[in-house]
């Protein structure tokens, strides 16, 4: 389970790059009740999505040169520079060199062997998101990829992430992720091969963040009314919960879930 303990290798941040931060704020406010708190002139336009005064994500307005609108997942690292070098040695890439973010921490944007962007965050004053697992906040992440074994090897090599299989439907296994040395209870995400998900196989590999909600169907209805895209309608996954895959009006993809097990 994802927690704010943020051990090494665990997801500790997500942020949105969008061509219209005001429009995105309106969408996510209508969907989840998020507000947007600008970070000030020194933050270069970066700010914080908040729910009841607690930060649930970051975000900023981006241009065409920054790539398509998207959500980026960040993982905790003890040393952003060492992790960036490890990514290169594992035949990944450094898309944004390690840099200090004032006294808040040090970050880098990397790419895995398939080119999937992700971030690493070396905490300073800012350890990570204020809240996870609760309604309106990050609760799970998934990597969609053509090569599951290679992805598992890469993230183990640079972040120490460990995988294990969970039996789902008869003959189906879901590959979960957890930080090195942690029990299976610490799983925070999964890796899904394209062969197991035709919806995602039509596109490029990417990380998908999930937001916990109390009513998946109501969120889907609101997303449609707010101009979002319903990529996968509300669907029950036995033993998991009721999920839906969405995109905001600018194309940034995310998912929502009402988890079957109570979140603690």
pLDDT grade for 133, boundaries at 50, 70 and 90: very high
Residue 54 has pLDDT above 70, yes or no: yes
Distance CA 254, CA 233 (A): 13
CA 252, chain centre distance (Å): 11
Spell out where the chain has E strands.
11-18, 35-38, 47-51, 54-61, 70-76, 93-101, 105-111, 117-123, 138-145, 162-167, 173-178, 189-193, 206-212, 229-237, 241-247, 253-259
Q: Given this model, what pLDDT does residue 264 score?
A: 43
Helix axes 21-32, 216-225, angle to 10 degrees: 150
Q: Given this model, what pLDDT does residue 167 score?
A: 85
The DSSP bridge partners found for residue 77 are: none
Mean pLDDT (whole number) for 48-52? 97
The DSSP bridge partners found for residue 231 are: none
Residue 85 has pLDDT above 50, yes or no: yes
Q: Which two tokens stand for residue 112?
A: 């895995």
Span 246-264, pLDDT tens digits: 999 999 999 999 999 744 4
CB 254 within 8 A of CB 71: yes
Lowest mean pLDDT among 65-69, 72-76, 147-151: 65-69
Mean pLDDT (whole number) for 175-184? 92
Helix axes 80-89, 148-159, angle to 10 degrees: 140
Residue 78 has pLDDT above 50, yes or no: yes
Residue 72 has pLDDT above 90, yes or no: yes
CB 135 within 8 A of CB 213: yes
Distance CA 92, CA 34 (A): 34
Distance CA 232, CA 203 (A): 14
Task: List, in order of start, the domains of the chain with CATH numbers.
Answer: 1-264 (3.10.180.10)
Secondary structure class of 9 (helix, strand, coil):
coil
Better pLDDT: 134 or 238: 134
Span 209-249, pLDDT tens digits: 999 999 999 999 999 999 999 999 999 998 899 999 999 99
CB 98 within 8 A of CB 106: yes
Mean pLDDT, all residues of the chain? 95
Secondary structure class of 8 (helix, strand, coil):
coil
Better pLDDT: 113 or 169: 113
Phi/psi for 80 (5° steps) reads: -65, -35
Distance CA 130, CA 53 (A): 9
Q: Given this model, what pLDDT does residue 184 score?
A: 83
**What is the pTM for the complete model shown?**
0.96
């Amino acid at each position: 389970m994802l927690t704010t303990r943020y051990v090494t290798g665990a997801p500790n941040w997500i942020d949105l790059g969008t061509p219209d931060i005001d429009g995105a704020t309106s969408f996510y406010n209508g969907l989840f009740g998020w507000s947007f708190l600008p970070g000030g002139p020194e933050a270069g336009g970066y700010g914080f999505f908040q729910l009841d005064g607690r930060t649930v994500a970051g975000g900023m307005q981006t241009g065409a040169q920054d790539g398509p609108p998207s959500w980026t997942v960040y993982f905790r690292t003890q040393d952003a520079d060492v992790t960036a070098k490890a990514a290169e040695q594992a035949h990944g890439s450094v898309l944004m060199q390690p840099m200090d973010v004032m006294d808040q921490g040090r970050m880098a944007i990397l790419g895995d062997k398939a080119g999937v962007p992700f971030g690493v965050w070396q905490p300073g004053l800012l350890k990570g998101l204020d809240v996870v697992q609760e309604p309106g906040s990050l609760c799970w992440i998934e990597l969609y990829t053509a090569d599951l074994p290679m992805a598992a090897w890469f993230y183990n090599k640079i972040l120490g992430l460990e995988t294990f299989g969970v039996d789902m439907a008869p003959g189906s296994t879901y590959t979960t992720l957890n930080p090195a040395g942690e029990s299976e209870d610490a799983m925070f995400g999964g890796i899904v091969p394209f062969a197991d998900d035709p919806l995602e196989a039509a596109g490029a590999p990417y990380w998908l963040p999930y937001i916990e909600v109390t009513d998946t169907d109501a969120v889907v209805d609101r997303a449609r009314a707010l101009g979002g895209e319903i990529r996968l309608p509300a669907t029950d996954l036995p033993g998991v919960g009721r999920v839906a895959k969405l995109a905001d009006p600018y194309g940034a993809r995310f998912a929502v879930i009402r988890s079957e097990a109570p979140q603690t």
